[in-house]
Amino acid sequence: MTNLIEALAPDIGALLPELETVYRDIHQHPELSMQEFRTAALVAERMEKLGFEVTREVGVTGVVALLRNGEGPTVMLRADMDALPVTEATGLPYASTVRAKDEDGVEVGVAHACGHDLHVTWLLGAAQLLAAHLDAWQGTLLAVFQPGEEVGRGARSMIDDGMIARFPKPDVILGQHVMVGEAGTVGYRSGTILSAGDSLKVKLFGRGAHGSQPQTSVDPVIMAASTTLRLQTIVSREISPRDSAVLTVGALQAGTKENIIPDDATLKLNMRTYDEDVREYMLGAIRRICCAECMASNAPREPEFTTLSSYPLTVNDDAVSERLRAAFVACFGERAYETQPAAASEDFSVFGREWGVPYAFWFVGGTDPQVYAAARAAKKLNEIPGNHSPKFAPVLEPTLRTGLEAMLCAAAAWLGRESEAA
């Protein structure tokens, strides 16, 4: 492993200016989930020039690039490509000004407010360096550029497009994510590292009327408000304090005018859990409470439930995690640390689950070290703009270098010529 990293080290610094240009380009041209056509074309063209066997349009816009380099393990490295329906407010000179229509036809601002532009850039850089040093490693590199992570459909769409039958089965699947944390650091963990995430839309049905005659209505606004409050008791009163869970009602939509009681109201909610039994219980409790509140309001019909997205738990394989820990400590020393699980969710684990392959996921810090240290000293870490904030802006140096090195270090733990003896 160390031999491969040593062989690549001189070229990493030389490549960073080029990668920064690529990063800024992707950042300025974000694309919504399952609409990543420009990004996919950019990725495919660069990978083809590097000598990879490239397959486009896997799961709509996904790109799979294959580089065979003799006998050895097959390692899959994954990066997600999509941006968010967020209007960027970072003030960066290369900030996105893109606007696009979402799946509902609504025009929205678009920004890489979750760092997927960095993810793509890291994988492009790692692929370029590995392609330039075939004599330093052996095996097969499977580089996967995934669409639609933000809507929880991208990994599944690639699997449903025959990915398992069309490409070599990996021996290990690896991925990483930029997060709030001191830039230059890498956080690894064995076992659960990301929560399961479920988003639901619940439509509540009432009976509309004039605002001056509420007695003739079944008011869905009151119904929705009561339901929202009651849903908060699931975590506070039905889940053990020993179990972690979050339930958020992020949208309550009803009505158009102050003197009209509408016919219906819609709730959009999200929950995060770390245990499958807790997850199943909460999903059942949500349905029970919504139905009960509708019955209490004498609603003309039961609520309508729609799943918006569903992310499984991300549970790192123990053996893979131990090999990564050793690799990261060797590469980064004290800058590698054992992280706590995050309440964020990912569809990364879908690849490992469906392929039956061990996987691991880790974090790369993206916050200016001085900013992070000052916020920690002031006990204001929660005030640092995080992923999905319109002000989320990872500092490029040393984040760009660290993420590239982490991806190379992880791949080297399997592809390095001396790694077979590990």
> CATH no. for residue 364?
3.40.630.10
> Cis bond leading into 398, ω under 30°?
yes
Mean pLDDT of the chain: 96
288, 327: one domain: no
Domain boundary among 279, 310, 341: 310
C-alpha dihedral sign at 338, 342, 348, 351: positive
Domain boundary pick from 310, 331, 354: 310
Q: In 10 A of CB 91, how many CB atoms?
A: 8
pLDDT over 70 at 202, yes or no: yes
Among 292, 310, 328, the domain boundary falls at 310
Task: Quickly tell me which residue has 């039958």 as its tokens.
Answer: 165
Residue 291 sits in the same domain as residue 184: no
Q: Are residues 358 and 237 in the same domain?
A: no
The pLDDT value recorded for residue 56 is 98
The Cβ-side half-sphere exposure at 83, using a 13 Å CA radius, reads: 35
N- to C-terminal Cα separation, the chain: 9
Distance set, CA 8 to CA 76, 131, 134, 274 (Å): 19, 11, 11, 38
182 and 65 in one domain?
yes
At 209-225, the pLDDT tens digits run 999 999 999 999 999 99
Alpha-carbon distance 239 to 284, whole Å? 13
For the chain, how many residues are written?
422
3-class DSSP state of 317? coil
Q: How many domains does the chain have?
A: 2
CATH of the domain at 248: 3.30.70.360
Same domain, 206 and 232: yes
Same domain, 39 and 53: yes
Grouping H, G, I as helix, E, B as strand and the rest as coil, residue 348 is coil
3 state SS for 97-141:
CCEEECCCCCEEECECCCCHHHHHHHHHHHHHHHHHCHHHECEEE
Binding-site residues, in ranges, read 114, 116, 150, 177, 388
> Which residues, at least 6 apart from 45, have a Cβ–Cβ distance to it below 8 Å?
none
Cβ atoms within 10 Å, residue 104: 6
For the stretch 159-192, pLDDT in tens is 999 999 999 999 999 999 999 999 999 999 999 9
- CB-based contact 287:305 (threshold 8 Å): yes
Question: Tokens 């397959």 map to which residue?
Answer: 55
As annotated, the active-site residues are 311, 397
Q: Same structural domain for residues 36 and 122?
A: yes
* In a shared domain, residues 151 and 271: no
Residues 160, 211 within the same domain: no
The answer to whether the beta carbons of residues 335 and 184 sit under 8 Å apart is yes
Annotated binding site for Mn(2+): 114, 116, 150, 177, 388
Query: Which domain does 185 fall in, by range?
Result: 2-195+313-421
Tens digit of pLDDT for each residue in 380-422? 999 999 999 999 999 999 999 999 999 999 999 999 876 654 4
pLDDT tens column, 317-330: 999 999 999 999 99
